[in-house]
Amino acid sequence: MYHTLLYYKIVNIKNPAKEVEMHKEICVALGIKGRILIGDYGINGNIGGTKESIELYRAYMDQHRLYKDIDWKEHIADFLPFPKLRVRYRDEIITTEIKDHIDWTKRGKHVDRDTFHQWLLRGEDMVLIDMRNDYEWAVGRFKNSINPPVSYFRDLKDNMGFYDQFKDKKVVMYCTGGIRCEPASALFVAHGFDPKRTYQLEGGIVKYAEKYGNEGFFEGKCFTFDDRMVLPINTTDSAVVVGKCAVCDTLCDTYRNCVYKECNALFIGCDTCHTRLHGACSTACEAIVLGNADMKRPFAHQMSV
């Protein structure tokens, strides 16, 4: 069994290059794999390793003056979902493409999962806005949440006009672990949203699911940027499937990559269509695959989840 950590912290880092090298040394020594981005304004990590290595990494971070008090999101996995270690400097630990126009001191208020859950239970008059990419929303989301009109988070800046319809509402935004809501809420406030009525779900879907996964209001599965592809939120027989096969439109929550590597499209595909199209995302790609040996080997995460 392996343990994974999803985390971030907004903090001023004066020498990020030094922190990158230090993290590389520590993670290599502990046998940790995954991705860590370090920039001038914080750190963003998604890593995995043995129980012992993750405990040692957390102990190091918890005693560090920059990283203490991180809100860790820890999971157990049957396999290590990260093929390698990548620790890099990024001028943005979450890509907005407008970093110089974001005032980190003027962000939406955090709402903890318990309060948020109570709001949902009593039918609070609010608008739930998903800050993830459209393909993440496709496989799982909070009930009655708004489908983002963007393919990637960096497109948010160019689509703020869409959200004007909600300016007079109480707004609660969410994402996987919380990090995207930090700059998103700042952008909303800068766009004229009332900072007293603009909220971000603390810890995101992952933190909410730790306590309310089986009885909460999240439907479907949570997309992950690693070899797991998706994580179940509700683990009971009552779990709802919201994803749909891109080929036949039947309910499905299995993400795959098109076997034709010049396409390599990420899509939701059922087992029947996957077999019928020989692993391709469409009849067009299937025709190329059948007439061309230029194929790639399916990874484990392309199979049914």
> Looking at the annotation, which residues are catalytic?
175
Three-state secondary-structure class, residue 6: strand
Q: What are phi and psi of 145, to 5 degrees?
A: -80, 160
* Integer Cα distance of 277 and 288 in angstroms: 11
Length of the chain: 305
Strand partners, 43: 9, 38
Distance CA 100, CA 181 (A): 17
| Tokens, residue 112 | 């903890």
**In angstroms, how far is CA 256 from the centroid of its own chain?**
17
User: Rounded to an integer, what distance in angstroms lies between the CA atom of residue 277 and that of residue 247?
Assistant: 10
